Structure 1
Amino acid sequence: MKRAYFLCLLILALCAENYFIIGYSLGDQFSGSADQFAVNTTTTRYSNYTTTTTRYANNTTTTTRYVPTTTTTRYVPTTTTTRYVPTTTTTRYIPTTTTTRYVSNTTTTRPVVTTTTTRPTVPVTTTTTRPTIPTPTTTTTRPTIPPPTTTTSLPTSTPASIHCNYFSLSTTYGCDLQIVNPNGQEFLTITGAHLPLKFDLDVLDVSAKFQNTKNIPSIICRKFVNLKRLEIIWSEASVMTTDSFRNCRNLEVLDLSGNIFREIPADVFEFSQNIRVMSFERNRLEIIANNSFYGLSELNLGYNELRIVDRQWFYRNSQLLTKLSVPGNRISSVVRAGSGFFSNLVSLDMSMNPIRNIQVGDFGLMSNLDSLKLDSCELSQLQLDSLNGLFSLRSLSINCNFIRDFPVDMFANQPNLSEVSAADNRITSIDSRSFGSTMSRLRSLYVQNNQLDSIDPEFFNNTGLLTTLFLNGNMCSNRNYFIDGSNRENVRREIDACLRNFRYVRCQYSGSPDFMCRMSVRNLVGLDDIQVVEGQHPFGSNNNNIRTVNIISGTSTIVPSVICRQFTNLQEITASGNGIISLTASSFQNCRNLRVLQLISQEISVIPESVFGSLVNLQTLSLTMNKIQSISARSLTGLGSSMQNLYLNSNLINRIENGAFNSLTNIARIQLNSNMLSAVNSLYFGAAMRNLVEFSANNNQINGTDPIWFNNSTLLDTLNLTGNLCVNGSFSNVRNNRNYVSSQLQNCFNRFRP
């Protein structure tokens, strides 16, 4: 009984195996549709795709359905195991009973991708008669499996949309606009629900920031007909047409900053002439059609690609325009006012344009201009009359240029100027004369990060309203100051280096027949770096005509070399009481034509060697009333045969080295009155004795005179030795009374010790 039971189980297993063998064999014989002979369907869902496996009588098909954005196709290799009967093909017939299985039609729908799988009804024949089948030979074929391929599909483009999030702030009801419109299509409506008791007519403000729209949709003003302010910024807009603003009849403020417009077409604002404030800042504007702007009061075209500011942009005139901003373009000349154009401007910003020069008259008709900005314009200098006509100017900003100084009277015609900002330039000095009467109204001066090493003390003394003085990053000061009545003197002490360093050389000229310069100087620190003698020549005169310089005022520790450098034909320099301390060779380097040099009542204590070496034509040298203590052998070297008169009166001279006067071969007059000499030695003079006509040494401490000196000074005619120890007298007509004078000097001769 048990054997029969196991035999039945074995027969059933063999029948099931043979059923699949024959099924696979049939699959090889048919090449029809894959939908034939369907047996069943298995669907498997994974995290990012769905696999449907359908088994047919002759094949197995796997269908993979993907998530819409990223599709990963996984190849499931199909391994077909075909078992062949060695020699015969067995066909099974239905002897008496036929069982037919039908698979109904199945439709599978996914949220994004819809796939319909239709399985036709196919009868399947099952044969109950099972003939004896020999053991089959099994061959397994493994096809080459390609590596999985991942395909990333771009997401489906988001449909265009425009939507309002309405808000209410105090008296303003507005719309925060959300817009996706990369292709620039027009819309029929704007979605979004109003706040309670609010309607389209109540919307006064529409703002779109960091959106994406190619154009300015006309639906905005069609829907919100009372709109006052429209702002579409940083939203990649590049196209606008007349229709964009056709219904914006009540619009007053339009801000399209931060987009990519290259052109403002003609008549685009024809139907929106109530706009008063408009901004196209940070676009790419190159072209603006004529008559584009109607009655604007403020216009901002900063940071575009414009090369000029054209009056023809403005319909009829621009009298209403009060504020114009065009920084960061490619404009090379200043906006000029004309009849009906820009004459009412109050604020003008032309910073960051390659202007380079301001011509006289550029601002001639802008009498109402209050604020002018010319930062980073590559300006190298300001001409005297550059700001003429700006009578109302209150604030001037010229930061980040290459300006070295302010000309005299630069700001004299701006009586209301209260703020000057000139940071990051190359200014070396602040001169009170640049400001004139404006100093009394000046409140703020910003000159940080320059090369400033001096400030005119008169500037600080006369700017009583000055409250802000920024000097950070300069040579003489590295601080910023806020000044009030309580700390003004402290600030003065802290900027003392700047005040002491202030230097200038100025001339008041007179013409024919004098051709003279009455000079004032200031140079307390002794830096010989002044480049120009300032001043205006009278008609018919120039630097080459000047023959005499008389330093009548001011203080300078040196004789500025610029004097002879500028006046090459100069013949005389006279300076009295100017505090000159040092004599330098550079001071006289270009004074070859000088005949007379008088430095009287100064503070000179030393005559350096060869300091007068360039004065080959000098005839008269006066260093009277200084603090000279000695004369070395080379102090007067270079003066040469042209020298006739030497005045060294009222010094502290107590020592003269041998040969000190030797080079003065044609000297006629030497005066050493009121010094501290103790003797007159022939070795001082050398060859100078031959032509000496006058020698004066009154009020010294002379207690001995070299008789050789007297005997060899054969042309001596005047000898003044009053107030000395060995002699107290003055002698004239010495040549004719030599014996008498010699007898009067005998006591001095006797006391002389070489």
Structure 2
Amino acid sequence: MVTWNRSRKKLRYGQSLAPVHIMFLRFGVFLCIFGAVFQTATACTPCPSMCSCTLKSGTTDECEVECQGQGYRTLPTAAEMPAAASWKIVKLDLSNNDIEEVPRNNISFLTNLQELSLRGNNISIMEDNTFDDLEELEVLDLSSNHITQFPDDLFESPNIIIKHLNISHLQLTSIKESFLRKLKEIEVLDASYNRIDRLSSNLFNKNDKIQLFKMSNNDLVSVDLRRFRKYVSDLSYNKLTSIEASHFITSILQLDLTGNLISSVDPSVLDQLPNLQNISLAGNPWECTCSLKDFHDKLIQLETSSGLILVDKWNIRCSNLDVPMFNLTNTALWSCLCKKKQNPASCLAKQWPKIRSKRAPGKEV
């Protein structure tokens, strides 16, 4: 029992608390009460086992459910999720679990969902119309699963507004035109790290808003981008051997061709790309012969006149000479490559004795 004095508090065993201790005690009680109130204010209930359910920042009724890596084999049921009468579930992250299927009936109640991640599960088959009830969904991540093909009618509702779709790290060998026809709001499509060897020229025929298309690390041997709109294209690490001017649309802004099998390009390709801001060409087996000179010169011209950025410029190498292509800026060096009756290497050796030596990047001759 505590008896009160004017300046101190006495405990029943004769002990007393100094004012500073009383202040800390009151502050501790305040923190406990505040913590309980704060947790109540920011938690959405009920919440699936081993998940976190919190309010989206700046909202009072929009809930984000995070269930990454918790060993889920099936989707949480409606009864396990935050009550629809009180909360709008706008984000559901089920990445890195063991989910094998996504029945439409198991997600149809998520009518306010804006972002869904199923990355890194064991999904191999998707059924028709799976996401047609999710008319607020903008971001969908299906990457790193075992899917080899999508059904033609995976997205069938005309009200779908998906903007970002990640289908990378799957086992796809193609993308059908029908797969994207209802995704009229799509802006970003990531199909990298698959086994896709061909693309239909009409793939984006219904997708006027596409801005970023990632197709790196596939098996493409040719590509036709005439139907695409204003966008950035990543075609790095495929098996492209050539690119043609007729296969590109003029509105392309960025083009990544790193790590393909391209040895020569007609300079008219660059005339077809007047809005191009940067291009990546390293990692290709460029054959620096007389036929490549015009392409080389055009790149230099655009770099100077329009500010074209040659990404990783000094790693664009001549496979036949084992030197950076842009170390061959000197006219005399290119003339060696265009002399029919003289061995180019011998001519270059005379013009540039250290052609085989390591040169500092950025030093042109």
Contact 1:367 1:389 in 2 (8 A): yes
Aligned with 1:177 (options 56, 67, 81)? 67
Contact 1:349 1:372 in 2 (8 A): yes
Superposition deviation, residue 382 in structure 1: 2.3
In the alignment, the residues of structure 1 paired with residue 286 and residue 86 of structure 2 have an alpha-carbon distance, to the nearest angstrom, of 56
Superposition deviation, residue 223 in structure 1: 2.8
Aligned with 1:167 (options 54, 64, 74)? 54
Q: Deviations over 1:180-220 (max 9, x none)?
A: 565x6x775351557xxx96652211112211111124356
Map of 1:117 onto structure 2: none
In the alignment, the residues of structure 1 paired with residue 209 and residue 86 of structure 2 have an alpha-carbon distance, to the nearest angstrom, of 31
Superposition deviation, residue 374 in structure 1: 0.4
Alignment of 1:467-486 (within 5 A): none
Q: Does 1:305 align with 2:189?
A: no
Q: Does 1:255 align with 2:141?
A: yes
Aligned with 1:354 (options 232, 236, 239)? 239
In the alignment, the residues of structure 2 paired with residue 243 and residue 259 of structure 1 have an alpha-carbon distance, to the nearest angstrom, of 19
CA 1:301–1:223 in structure 2 vs 1: closer, same or farther (change >3 Å)? same
CA 1:423–1:354 in structure 2 vs 1: closer, same or farther (change >3 Å)? farther
Q: Deviations over 1:684-703 (max 9, x none)?
A: xxxxxxxxxxxxxxxxxxxx
Q: Deviations over 1:452-511 (max 9, x none)?
A: 694647xxxxxxxxxxxxxxxxxxxxxxxxxxxxxxxxxxxxxxxxxxxx73365xxxxx
In the alignment, the residues of structure 2 paired with residue 223 and residue 282 of structure 1 have an alpha-carbon distance, to the nearest angstrom, of 28
Q: Does 1:222 align with 2:108?
A: yes
Aligned with 1:324 (options 209, 213, 236)? 213
CA 1:201–1:192 in structure 2 vs 1: closer, same or farther (change >3 Å)? closer
Superposition deviation, residue 170 in structure 1: 1.9
Q: Does 1:279 align with 2:166?
A: yes
CA 1:505–1:373 in structure 2 vs 1: closer, same or farther (change >3 Å)? closer
Contact 2:103 2:127 in 1 (8 A): no
Map of 2:44 onto structure 1: none
CA 1:318–1:224 in structure 2 vs 1: closer, same or farther (change >3 Å)? closer
CA 1:423–1:399 in structure 2 vs 1: closer, same or farther (change >3 Å)? farther
Superposition deviation, residue 423 in structure 1: 4.8
In the alignment, the residues of structure 1 paired with residue 156 and residue 49 of structure 2 have an alpha-carbon distance, to the nearest angstrom, of 25
Superposition deviation, residue 281 in structure 1: 0.7
In the alignment, the residues of structure 2 paired with residue 333 and residue 325 of structure 1 have an alpha-carbon distance, to the nearest angstrom, of 15
Root mean square deviation of aligned Cα: 3.5
Q: Deviations over 1:571-597 (max 9, x none)?
A: xxxxxxxxx9xxxxxxxxxxxxxxxxx
Contact 2:231 2:252 in 1 (8 A): yes
Q: Percent identity?
A: 17
Name the SS for the 1:361 alignment partner: helix
Superposition deviation, residue 277 in structure 1: 1.4
Name the SS for the 2:116 alignment partner: strand
TM normalised by structure 1 equals: 0.34
Contact 1:391 1:416 in 2 (8 A): no
Contact 2:95 2:120 in 1 (8 A): yes
Map of 1:345 onto structure 2: 230
The answer to which structure, 1 or 2, has the higher relative contact order (CA under 8 A, 6+ apart) is: 2
Aligned with 2:92 (options 184, 187, 206)? 206
Map of 2:120 onto structure 1: 234
In the alignment, the residues of structure 2 paired with residue 357 and residue 350 of structure 1 have an alpha-carbon distance, to the nearest angstrom, of 12
Unpaired runs of at least 5, structure 2: 1-47, 351-365
Map of 2:338 onto structure 1: 532
Contact 1:348 1:371 in 2 (8 A): yes
Superposition deviation, residue 404 in structure 1: 4.2
TM normalised by structure 2 equals: 0.67
Map of 1:426 onto structure 2: 317
CA 1:450–1:261 in structure 2 vs 1: closer, same or farther (change >3 Å)? farther
Contact 2:129 2:155 in 1 (8 A): no
Alignment of 1:62-73 (within 5 A): none
Contact 2:328 2:334 in 1 (8 A): no
Map of 2:152 onto structure 1: 266
Superposition deviation, residue 239 in structure 1: 1.9
Which letter does structure 1 place at the counterpart of 2:332? Answer: R
In the alignment, the residues of structure 2 paired with residue 402 and residue 413 of structure 1 have an alpha-carbon distance, to the nearest angstrom, of 22
Which letter does structure 1 place at the counterpart of 2:309? Answer: E
Superposition deviation, residue 243 in structure 1: 4.5
In the alignment, the residues of structure 1 paired with residue 106 and residue 307 of structure 2 have an alpha-carbon distance, to the nearest angstrom, of 45
Map of 1:368 onto structure 2: 251
In the alignment, the residues of structure 2 paired with residue 451 and residue 280 of structure 1 have an alpha-carbon distance, to the nearest angstrom, of 36
Over 6 Å off, 4+ runs: none
CA 1:239–1:200 in structure 2 vs 1: closer, same or farther (change >3 Å)? farther
Q: Does 1:410 align with 2:298?
A: yes
Contact 1:189 1:219 in 2 (8 A): no
CA 1:244–1:453 in structure 2 vs 1: closer, same or farther (change >3 Å)? closer
Q: Deviations over 1:226-250 (max 9, x none)?
A: 1111111111221212352131111
Q: Deviations over 1:359-406 (max 9, x none)?
A: 23222xx22211100011111122222323111111101121112445
In the alignment, the residues of structure 1 paired with residue 153 and residue 343 of structure 2 have an alpha-carbon distance, to the nearest angstrom, of 66
Name the SS for the 1:396 alignment partner: strand
Superposition deviation, residue 300 in structure 1: 1.0
CA 1:200–1:264 in structure 2 vs 1: closer, same or farther (change >3 Å)? farther
CA 1:299–1:235 in structure 2 vs 1: closer, same or farther (change >3 Å)? same
Contact 1:291 1:312 in 2 (8 A): no
Name the SS for the 1:292 alignment partner: helix
Alignment of 1:391-402 (within 5 A): 391-402=274-285
Which letter does structure 2 place at the counterpart of 1:357? Answer: S
How many residue pairs match? The answer is 283
In the alignment, the residues of structure 2 paired with residue 334 and residue 381 of structure 1 have an alpha-carbon distance, to the nearest angstrom, of 16
Map of 1:127 onto structure 2: none
Map of 1:116 onto structure 2: none
In the alignment, the residues of structure 1 paired with residue 124 and residue 86 of structure 2 have an alpha-carbon distance, to the nearest angstrom, of 27
In the alignment, the residues of structure 1 paired with residue 92 and residue 139 of structure 2 have an alpha-carbon distance, to the nearest angstrom, of 11
In the alignment, the residues of structure 2 paired with residue 561 and residue 312 of structure 1 have an alpha-carbon distance, to the nearest angstrom, of 46
Map of 1:151 onto structure 2: none
Which letter does structure 1 place at the counterpart of 2:257? Answer: L
Could you say which structure has the larger radius of gyration? 1
Which letter does structure 2 place at the counterpart of 1:268? Answer: L
